[in-house]
Amino acid sequence: MTAKTGTVYLIGAGPGDPGLLTIKAKESIEQADVVVYDYLASPYLLAYARDDAQVIYVGKKGGDHTLTQEKINQLLVDKARQGLSVARLKGGDPFVFGRGGEEAQELLDHGVSYEVVPGVTSAISAPAYAGIPVTHRDHTSFVSFITGHEDPTKPSSSMQWDIFAKSNATLVFLMGVKNLENIVGKLVGHGKPVHTPVALVRWGTTSRQQTVTGTLETIVENVREAGLKSPAVIVVGHVVGLREELAWFDTKPLFGKKIVITRARAQASDLVTRLNRLGAHCIEIPTIRITPPEDLRPMQEAIQKITDYQWLVLTSVNGVKYFFDTLFAMGKDVRALGHLKFACIGPVTKEKLAGFGIISDILPETYRAESVVDAFKNTGIKGQRVLLPRARLARTILPEELARMGAEVDEVTAYETVLDDAGKQTLIAMLKDREIDGVTFTSSSTVSNFMSLLDKEDGPRLLKDVTIASIGPITSDTARSLGLEVDIEAKAYTIQGLVDALVTGVGK
C-alpha cells in the first residue's frame, strides 16, 4: 500500500506588511507540517506556524542562494512524499515573477498535489504605500509588469523596449535595481521622453520603506546618491507625479523609527502592533521570559484554603493568568471565588480579570502608596485576610501599605520573570552601529534585565543618543537608579499610554 502523499500550498506571502497576508494563506501556514520560506517573506508570518512544524529557509538574494531552484523543487517533492502538508511561502504573489509556475509544474511531474494561494504582489502594493496609484483615469488606464533582471548581454531578448517606450502604460519593473541604468538606457534609447517621472520603492509596505523619485534623466544618479539597494520596484509613468499629493504611509508619526521592544515575547504583540500601525520598525529583543514558579505548592495551598480569604489582589495580567491557570489545573473554577472581593492594579489587569467574568471591586491606578491607600480607604480592609499572588521578588510597597491599614496579607509566587539573553549580541551590535532610535521599558524587570545584557558594556554611553521610553514612574525610577536618563514617561501607565508618549516624544 502506497503512503498518502501530502499537499504543497504555493502561498503568496505578500509584499512585507504582515497585515496584507490573506486569511487563506494564514490558515494554510497554521495547518502545515513544514514551512518553506523565501528571503522576501516576512519572518513575522512564521509566528502562525505550529510549534512542532519544521521551518526551512531557502532564501535567495543577489546571487546568494541558500538552495538552488532545482533543490527547492526537490525539497517540496520530498516533503510531500513523506505525507506532510507543506506551506511554500513566497514573497508577493507566487505567479507574479515568483517562479511558482515552475514549482507547480515540478510537483505535477512528480504526482504531488498542490494548491495556489494568491498573494498581494509588490508590483501594486509598494507603489500604493508610496502614494503612487499604478492606474488613474487622468493619467493611464493600463499597467505593465516587467521583469527587471533579464540578462542585458543575452544575444536576443524577449523584452519589447520599443513598445514599452511608446506606451502610455505605467511600467512596473520588479527586481531591477541592479539593471536600473540599463532599463533607463533602453527606454530612452527607444524614444521614451527623458522627463518621464520614475520612482523606486525599496522594502515597500514595511517600516523600512524608502522611496526615491526623479525622471529618466535623473533617476540613476538620484538612486546612487541615496544608496538605495534591492529589493525595490521601479515605477515609470506620469502616475509617479501623484506621490507628492497622495503619500500616506511614510508620513506616519513614527515612520522608520527603530524601536526596541523589551517586553516578554508572549506579551509584546499588542505593543508591536500599535507601533507598527504608526510606521515604527519594531525590533523585538525581549529581556524577560515569564515562567511558572519552580514550586507551585504555596499557590496551590492558598487556593485550597481560598475560603479563608476575603480579598484577592491582582497586580498584573501575568498574575491573573497564572492564578487562574493553577485554579483550573486543580479542578476548580470561578465558583470557588464567589465570596471574595477583588482589587486590580491598573486598568489592563482589570480587563484581564473581566475576561474570566469577574468585575474588580476597586482599582488602584498604580503601586504608589497614596494610590493604594486611596483605593482601599473605604473598604473596611482592617482585619481582613488578603491573598496576593504575584511575581517572585516583587516590590514591597503594596503588602506594606495593606498591612499598615490592618490587613493580614499572604504573598504567594504566581510566576517568575527570568532573564532572556537570546538577543544580547544583536542588541549590542545595533547600539554600537547607532541603528536604534528608541527603547521601551514596560516594567522594572525589563530595565534591570536590559542592563544585565550590557554587563560588560558602558550602557549609559551606548544609550546616550537613544530615546528611553518608560511606561510609568516606578519603571522610570528603576532606569534612573541604573544610570539611564528617561526621556519619555507615559502619562497613562498602559501600553496605549506608552505609545501615545512615543508619538509625542519621537514622532515627526
Q: What is the DSSP string of 99-158?
A: SHHHHHHHHHHTT-EEEEE----HHHHHHHHTT--S-BTTTBS-EEEEES---TT-SS--
The counts of H helices and E strands in the chain are: 19, 22
By the 8 A CB rule, do 16 and 28 touch? no
Active site residue 330: no
Rg of the chain over CA atoms, in angstroms?
28
Task: Write the single-letter amino acid at 443.
Answer: S
- How many CA atoms, within 13 angstroms, populate the side-chain half-sphere of residue 142? 5
Active site residue 175: yes
Active site residue 299: no
Which of the residues 17, 38, 250, 437 is marked catalytic?
Answer: 38
Cis amide prior to 231 (ω within 30 degrees): yes
By the 8 A CB rule, do 188 and 216 touch? yes
β-bridge partners, 10: 88, 116
Q: Rounding to the nearest 10 degrees, give the CA dihedral for residues 186, 188, 190, 196.
A: 120
Question: What's the rounded Cα separation, in Å, for the pair 14 and 121?
Answer: 6
Which of the residues 17, 175, 258, 341 is marked catalytic?
Answer: 175
First to last CA, the chain: 65
Sign of CA dihedral 442, 446, 447, 451: negative
- Grid coordinates in use for 51? 510549534
Give the single-character DSSP code of 268: -
Q: 143-147 and 170-174: which strand pairing?
A: parallel
Which of the residues 26, 60, 332, 424 is marked catalytic?
Answer: 60
- Contacting residues for 228 by C-beta, under 8 A, at least 6 apart: 177, 200, 202, 210, 212
Active site residues per annotation: 38, 60, 175
